[in-house]
Amino acid sequence: MTLLRKDRRDSDFLTTIAQIGVTTHPGGKEATKTLFEKLDLKEGDVVLDLGCGSGRTLTFVSQSYPVKIIGVELKSELAKEARQRTQFARDRVIVLKGDIERLPLRDNCVDCAFSESVLNFVNKEKALSEASRVLKREGQIALLEITFKDKKIDRINRLAREVFQVPQFEILTSEEWCQILKSFGFCVKSIQQLPYWWQGTDKEEALVEARLLIGLMMRWSLRRFLLTWRLLFALTRYSAIGLYWGVKEPVSTS
């Protein structure tokens, strides 16, 4: 059973949220603030948002720090939305439609790269290799990703792939994140886990989530929508919001 046209029924999660026109991430703005508290940003720094979605964090960063910000977003509808949302800071914010697995940026040009709920959807190796390429020496990286609290549960990853229809979607454990970050030349400085439903009582956040849930309900089959709830319950029980901070280590010449 679908409430809308049949051809929309099987679109993947990212296409669906692009149609709805708004994005968020677990933990919302409060989790973003926690992520940014541990970053050392200086005036004029270039900050990169990998998968900026509709640009809500671009807005937060541009209002909170005197930095230049680049958002990269795969979906043109969302890149357009992010551009409109950040019009007020046009001289400091630029939004590029692009793929974080092939960043449209030159080497060593970014002081800090961050990403919120994007890397689980992409090829992590390609995205981290690109982040490392564009970061300056000792540039900072900060990630917010759903992470298994304890051990990896393949059944949940399979369920998530069925719900999102993104074949490479994969949730990792904290240990796996540390390993993969190290293997791409990052020194992990700090990690933290927040409960999956950890969230401020932000009215705007609640409205965005309601808009997303109603949008999904209108576009997806009843079965897929019910699977989404099953996934949410499983994530609440077995996963957390993982926050990771690291620094790009200088390349060893020995």
Ligand X SMILES: C[S@@+](CC[C@H](N)C(=O)[O-])C[C@H]1O[C@@H](n2cnc3c(N)ncnc32)[C@H](O)[C@@H]1O
Footprint of ligand X (CB under 6 A): 14, 23-25, 51-53, 56-57, 72-75, 78, 99-101, 116-118, 121-122
Shorter beta-carbon distance to ligand X: residue 123 or 173: 123
**What's the maximum distance between 2 C-alpha atoms anywhere in the chain?**
63
Shorter beta-carbon distance to ligand X: residue 25 or 224: 25
The neighbouring-strand residues paired with 68 are 46
The answer to whether 46 and 110 have CB atoms below 8 angstroms apart is: yes
Shorter beta-carbon distance to ligand X: residue 99 or 162: 99
Please list the alpha-helical segments (H only) found in the chain.
Answer: 13-20, 28-37, 56-64, 76-85, 124-134, 154-164, 174-183, 203-219, 222-238
Closest separation in Å from C-beta 43 to ligand X: 24
Residue nearest to ligand X (CB): 53
Closest separation in Å from C-beta 254 to ligand X: 35
Shorter beta-carbon distance to ligand X: residue 53 or 246: 53
Q: Which two tokens stand for residue 62?
A: 């541009």
Closest separation in Å from C-beta 33 to ligand X: 13
| DSSP conformational letter for 249 | P
Q: Which two tokens stand for residue 222?
A: 């009843």
Closest separation in Å from C-beta 236 to ligand X: 17
